[in-house]
């Protein structure tokens, strides 16, 4: 049921646009052009009929009394809060003039579009940046880039969860820093179903989370040390002979010989006389000679040392085993602060309670070396055969035709923006367009950005619903429509536990309120003024038709009209199992050879309590997600503020007692970058040595400062080689003290 009349109400099925990880459907009740309530929308598979508090409160975003109602231009200095109402024509004329002028003075790449979004039509911003030949920052580096870096190495794709998760009939579910009870709420239902079918549930996390409370076993690990735990488990499994030789031989680079002099895989070219192909070579245990891995009848060696052309070579699995030997149970216990007997028992269960579903939370990789944690867990799954070769695939849409534009844009990782603004390296950024993301509320080292970087920009445009932390610094402020006031196409969030594989239509529920406009309409009107209107000449529904016209089997027969009737499941289609250079799982990476990270390894967190910096700042600082917000969205919604009224700093009783802090006291968390003042919440659920503030609160919700004033923007060069550097939001040290009465 999508858009029908029932007892005087129109029922419109749409999709929650705010929670990209879930793809929850909503059924909006509309009377006289106004939403009266929202409930969960139906799915062909009833397991996916779901709604959370945020979905129920979505209508409060549309009807919020503080919504921006019309475009405005800044008066006075940025952040002063003085504004003048202007028309859409004046605002777009001003923007077009400024963008053209800045492009002429500094070059087109000086124009930066920084946006986020989960809908297909959100890519219109990328299309616009290409028309301007500017720079585009997709903002994945806001703490979610390290995991994709690791998965690009291992699987050749950004999100490899579909290879590691199976909630149908798992024998063991291991949650590595993953808290679906609060961050992937649809998945917790599937988890509980798996538990009822007999699966054991283990949660590995520094915090005792809501998911940990439902687990059969909770393992409290030292922050940022998950790679060491996974490598210790690999060591135990190899030592005990519990690995899956067949899976390693057939689906990983384990049997491929590695040149002992160069560290590169041994290939046929230059090794076998008369051969010029690039086939990977293995040592055949049947003929006792080097052969192609693809030859018939080959039984490759996984261990040993072999001379080929006078050069000592070893299979990649042998190199992994040698690396893992460094991680003995006692050493791993010392690193992780997890007892050695628990490490060995978990490793034994992991190899024997198959299939194992490994859920790697995004919080797990929000450390400086988070990519290594993802790679180590993948290697653990690979050597035990706990990898699913035929996971659900995303739909293949006609994105090329949708993105067709007159030029090309540069792609700039988020953490590179700092130097591009401050040092004009690799080129100057002088204009910033922020949309669908409260960037200045969420960005790392926010005080540096506000105080040092923003003043260097010539022009800032913000498109938003509210006067939030980003909007405050705009030169031109455009009022956006909520997702309930516009149409989009939502693809399935492939890979998250318990999430579906359906394409859904985000239908417009009500007409745009006040003078707000959908983002696509804003860009279409601006494109006309910029001189490339021919690339923005379709309506939202026409663009959706274009996206569905790829001709690919995954979307065969799926039309806009069918999507108006309800969600349509993406058809499975054959693809190469892995998109790595070898077509296999690569726990050995040639690309990272020069950095000494060709194999997964453990590296101490950048701001660890075992670093010298801890003498001044002895507490690890987390900023985890809340079940009541999606980043900063919903932070100002009254219904949800009744459930979580203000930000608090969670602290263990032992740490609180040492600082004379009691529950409810006003405290200050600080380091060299900044400080934040808020109330303390003292409880046992947080590990000693850690404090936590749920992220997404706006600056005005704190007594002083902001949760992002303490985080840093350090760049990991290994992640830069693979994909883009990650913002290590959970790799931060602080000190906390009670605020004495003045």
Determine the 3-state secondary structure of 306 from DSSP. Answer: strand
Three-state SS across 637-667? Answer: CHHHHCCCCCCEEEECHHHHHHCCCCCCCEE
Residue 224 has pLDDT above 90, yes or no: yes
Q: What is the Cα–Cα distance from 47 to 585, expressed in whole angstroms? A: 32
Span 307-316, mean pLDDT?
95
Which residues have a Cβ under 8 Å from the Cβ of 538 and sit 6 or more positions away? 546
Structure confidence by residue, pLDDT tens digits, 707-725: 999 999 999 999 999 988 9
Using CA atoms, how far residue 199 sits from 120, 210, 354, 439, 699, in Å, is 36, 18, 10, 40, 43
Residue 742 has pLDDT above 60, yes or no: no
Q: Are 391 and 162 in contact (CB under 8 A)?
A: yes
Give 480's DSSP letter: B
Span 169-196, mean pLDDT?
88
* CA-based torsion, 576, 581, 584, 589: positive or negative: negative
Span 624-651, mean pLDDT?
95
CA angle (358 as vertex; 353, 359 as ends), nearest 5:
145
Residue 496 has pLDDT above 90, yes or no: no
Q: Are 439 and 164 in contact (CB under 8 A)?
A: no
Residue 729 has pLDDT above 90, yes or no: yes
Q: Are 309 and 300 in contact (CB under 8 A)?
A: no
Q: How many CA atoms lie within 13 A of 658 on its CB side?
A: 11
Give 192's DSSP letter: H
Q: Are 500 and 45 in contact (CB under 8 A)?
A: yes
Q: What is the Cα–Cα distance from 213 to 217, expressed in whole angstroms? A: 9
pTM for the model stands at: 0.95
Which two structure tokens, joined as six digits, stand for 32?
């006289």
Which two structure tokens, joined as six digits, stand for 334?
């010392």
Residue 5 has pLDDT above 90, yes or no: no
**CATH T-level fold of 612-738:** Barwin-like endoglucanases (2.40.40)
Which two structure tokens, joined as six digits, stand for 35?
């939403």
Residue for token pair 């949760």: 707
Structure confidence by residue, pLDDT tens digits, 523-535: 999 999 999 999 9
Mean pLDDT over the full length of the chain: 93
Q: What is the Cα–Cα distance from 480 to 88, expressed in whole angstroms? A: 12
Q: What is the pLDDT of residue 498?
A: 63
Higher pLDDT, 255 or 119: 255
CATH 3.40.228.10 matches 166-383: yes
Model confidence at 212, pLDDT cuts 50, 70, 90, reads very high
Which residues have a Cβ under 8 Å from the Cβ of 174 and sit 6 or more positions away? 202, 204, 346, 350, 356, 357, 358, 359
Residue for token pair 């009848």: 297
Span 684-703, mean pLDDT?
96
Residue 261 has pLDDT above 60, yes or no: yes
Least confident range of 298-302, 516-520, 626-630, 657-661: 626-630
Which two structure tokens, joined as six digits, stand for 44?
């062909």
Least confident range of 486-490, 493-497, 567-571, 648-652: 493-497
Q: Give CA torsion, residues 291, 294, 297, 301, to 10 deg.
A: 60
Using CA atoms, how far residue 474 sits from 54, 420, 429, 433, 540, in Å, is 28, 19, 16, 9, 27
Q: What is the pLDDT of residue 277?
A: 61
Q: Is 484 left (phi over 0), alpha (psi -120 to 50) or beta?
A: alpha
Q: What is the pLDDT of residue 572?
A: 86
Q: What is the Cα–Cα distance from 449 to 712, expressed in whole angstroms? A: 11
Percent of the chain with pLDDT over 90: 84
Span 478-504, mean pLDDT?
87
Q: What is the pLDDT of residue 139?
A: 64
Q: What is the pLDDT of residue 20?
A: 62
- In the chain, ranges of CATH 2.40.40.20 domains: 612-738
Give 453's DSSP letter: I
Span 218-245, mean pLDDT?
98
How far, in whole angstroms, is CA 110 from its chain's centroid?
A: 26
Residues of the chain by 3-state class (helix, strand, coil), percent to 5? 35, 20, 45
Q: What is the pLDDT of residue 274?
A: 46
Model confidence at 495, pLDDT cuts 50, 70, 90, reads low
Q: What is the Cα–Cα distance from 608 to 224, expressed in whole angstroms? A: 8
Q: Are 93 and 504 in contact (CB under 8 A)?
A: no
Q: According to the per-residue pLDDT averaged within each range, which of 14-28, 174-188, 437-451 is highest?
A: 437-451
Residue 255 has pLDDT above 90, yes or no: yes
Alpha helices in 155-306 (DSSP H): 161-164, 180-183, 185-196, 226-239, 245-251
Using CA atoms, how far residue 179 sits from 22, 42, 81, 138, 186, in Å, is 14, 25, 38, 25, 12
Q: What is the pLDDT of residue 389?
A: 85
Strand extents, DSSP E, 145-192:
172-176
Q: What is the pLDDT of residue 19?
A: 66
Which residues have a Cβ under 8 Å from the Cβ of 288 and sit 6 or more positions away? none
Q: Smallest Cα–Cα separation from 631: which of 439, 502, 447?
A: 439
Using CA atoms, how far residue 500 sits from 17, 49, 394, 482, 555, in Å, is 15, 10, 11, 24, 16
Radius of gyration in angstroms for the set of CA atoms belonging to the chain, rounded to a whole number: 27
Structure confidence by residue, pLDDT tens digits, 382-430: 999 999 887 778 899 999 999 999 889 999 998 999 999 999 999 999 9
Q: What is the Cα–Cα distance from 669 to 119, expressed in whole angstroms? A: 37
**CATH T-level fold of 72-139+395-478+508-537:** Rossmann fold (3.40.50)
Residue 1 has pLDDT above 50, yes or no: no
* 111 DSSP β-pair partners: 431
Residue 13 has pLDDT above 60, yes or no: yes
Q: What is the pLDDT of residue 48?
A: 87
Span 483-498, mean pLDDT?
84
Structure confidence by residue, pLDDT tens digits, 570-610: 998 887 789 999 999 999 999 999 999 999 999 999 999 99
Q: Peptide bond before 544: cis, by omega within 30 degrees of 0?
A: no
Which residues have a Cβ under 8 Å from the Cβ of 496 and sit 6 or more positions away? 21, 22, 161, 184, 186, 187
Q: Are 338 and 203 in contact (CB under 8 A)?
A: no
Span 4-33, mean pLDDT?
84
Residue 124 has pLDDT above 70, yes or no: yes
Using CA atoms, how far residue 344 sits from 62, 177, 205, 351, 526, in Å, is 53, 19, 18, 11, 61
Q: Smallest Cα–Cα separation from 244: which of 387, 64, 108, 101?
A: 387
Model confidence at 497, pLDDT cuts 50, 70, 90, reads low
Span 263-286, mean pLDDT?
79
First to last CA, the chain: 60
Model confidence at 183, pLDDT cuts 50, 70, 90, reads confident
Q: Smallest Cα–Cα separation from 589: which of 160, 234, 153?
A: 153
- In the chain, ranges of CATH 3.40.50.740 domains: 72-139+395-478+508-537
**333: enclosing H helix or E strand:** helix 329-336
Which two structure tokens, joined as six digits, stand for 201?
């549930």
């Amino acid at each position: 049921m999508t858009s029908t009349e029932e007892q005087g109400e129109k029922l419109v099925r749409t999709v929650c646009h705010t929670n990209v990880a879930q793809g929850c459907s909503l059924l909006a009740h509309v009377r006289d052009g106004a939403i009266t309530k929202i409930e969960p929308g139906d799915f062909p598979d009833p397991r996916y009929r779901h709604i959370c508090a945020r979905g129920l409160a979505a209508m409060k975003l549309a009807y919020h009394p503080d919504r921006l109602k019309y475009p405005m231009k800044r008066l006075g200095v940025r952040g002063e809060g003085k504004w003048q109402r202007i028309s859409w024509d004046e605002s777009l004329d001003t923007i077009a003039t400024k963008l053209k002028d800045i492009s002429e003075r500094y070059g087109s790449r000086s124009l930066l579009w920084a946006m986020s979004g989960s809908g297909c039509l959100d890519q219109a911003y990328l299309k616009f940046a290409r028309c301007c030949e500017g720079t585009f920052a997709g903002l994945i580096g806001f703490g979610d880039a390290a995991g994709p870096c690791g998965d690009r190495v291992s699987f050749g794709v950004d999100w490899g969860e579909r290879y590691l998760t199976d909630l149908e009939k798992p024998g063991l579910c291991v949650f590595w820093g993953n808290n679906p009870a609060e961050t992937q709420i649809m998945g917790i239902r599937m988890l509980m179903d798996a538990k009822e079918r007999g699966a054991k549930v283990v949660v590995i996390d520094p915090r005792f989370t809501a998911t940990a409370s439902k687990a059969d076993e909770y393992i409290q690990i030292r922050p940022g040390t998950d790679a060491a735990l996974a490598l210790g488990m690999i060591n135990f499994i190899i030592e005990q002979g519990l690995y899956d030789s067949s899976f390693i031989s057939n689906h990983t680079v384990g049997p491929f010989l590695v040149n002992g002099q160069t560290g590169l895989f041994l290939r046929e070219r230059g090794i076998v006389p008369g051969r010029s192909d690039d086939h990977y070579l293995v040592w055949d245990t049947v003929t006792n000679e080097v052969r192609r891995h693809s030859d018939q009848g080959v039984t490759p060696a996984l261990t040993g040392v072999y001379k080929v052309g006078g050069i000592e070579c070893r299979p990649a699995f042998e190199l992994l085993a040698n690396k893992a030997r460094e991680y003995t149970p006692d050493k791993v216990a010392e690193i992780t602060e997890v007892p050695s007997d628990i490490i060995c028992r978990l490793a034994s269960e992991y190899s024997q309670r198959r299939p194992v579903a490994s859920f790697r939370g995004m919080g797990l990789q929000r450390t400086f070396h988070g990519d290594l944690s993802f790679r180590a867990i993948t290697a653990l799954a690979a050597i035990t055969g706990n990898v699913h070769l035929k996971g659900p695939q995303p739909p293949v849409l006609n994105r090329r035709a949708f993105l067709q534009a007159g030029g090309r844009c540069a792609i700039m990782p988020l953490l590179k923006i700092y130097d591009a603004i401050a040092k004009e390296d690799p080129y100057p950024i002088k204009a910033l367009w922020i949309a669908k993301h409260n960037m200045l509320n969420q960005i790392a080292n926010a005080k540096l950005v506000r105080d040092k970087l923003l003043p260097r920009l010539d022009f800032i445009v913000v498109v938003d619903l509210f006067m939030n932390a980003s909007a405050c610094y705009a030169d031109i402020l455009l009022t956006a429509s909520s997702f309930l006031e516009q149409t989009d196409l939502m693809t399935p969030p492939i890979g998250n536990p318990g999430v579906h594989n359906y394409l859904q239509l985000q239908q417009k529920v009500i007409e745009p309120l006040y003078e707000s406009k959908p983002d696509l309409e804003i860009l279409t009107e601006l494109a006309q003024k910029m001189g490339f209107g021919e690339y923005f000449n379709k309506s939202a529904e026409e663009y959706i038709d274009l996206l569905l016209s790829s001709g690919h089997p995954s979307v065969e027969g799926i039309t806009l009209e069918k999507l108006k009737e309800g969600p349509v499941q993406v058809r499975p289609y054959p693809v190469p199992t892995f998109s790595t250079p070898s077509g296999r799982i690569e726990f050995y990476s040639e690309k990272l050879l020069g950095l000494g990270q060709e194999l997964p390894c453990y590296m101490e967190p950048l701001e660890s309590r075992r670093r010298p910096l801890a003498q001044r700042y002895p507490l690890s600082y987390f900023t985890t997600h809340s079940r009541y917000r999606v980043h900063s969205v919903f932070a100002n919604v009254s219904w949800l503020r009744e459930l979580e009224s203000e930000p608090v700093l969670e602290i263990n009783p032992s740490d609180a007692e040492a600082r004379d802090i009691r529950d409810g006291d006003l405290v200050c968390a600080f380091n060299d970058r900044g400080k934040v003042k808020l109330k303390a919440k003292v409880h046992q659920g947080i590990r000693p040595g850690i404090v936590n503030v749920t992220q997404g609160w706006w600056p005005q919700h704190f007594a002083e400062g902001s949760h992002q004033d303490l985080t840093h923007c350090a760049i990991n060069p290994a992640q830069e080689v693979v994909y883009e550097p990650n913002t290590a939001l959970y790799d931060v040290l602080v000190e906390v003290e009670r605020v004495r009465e003045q």
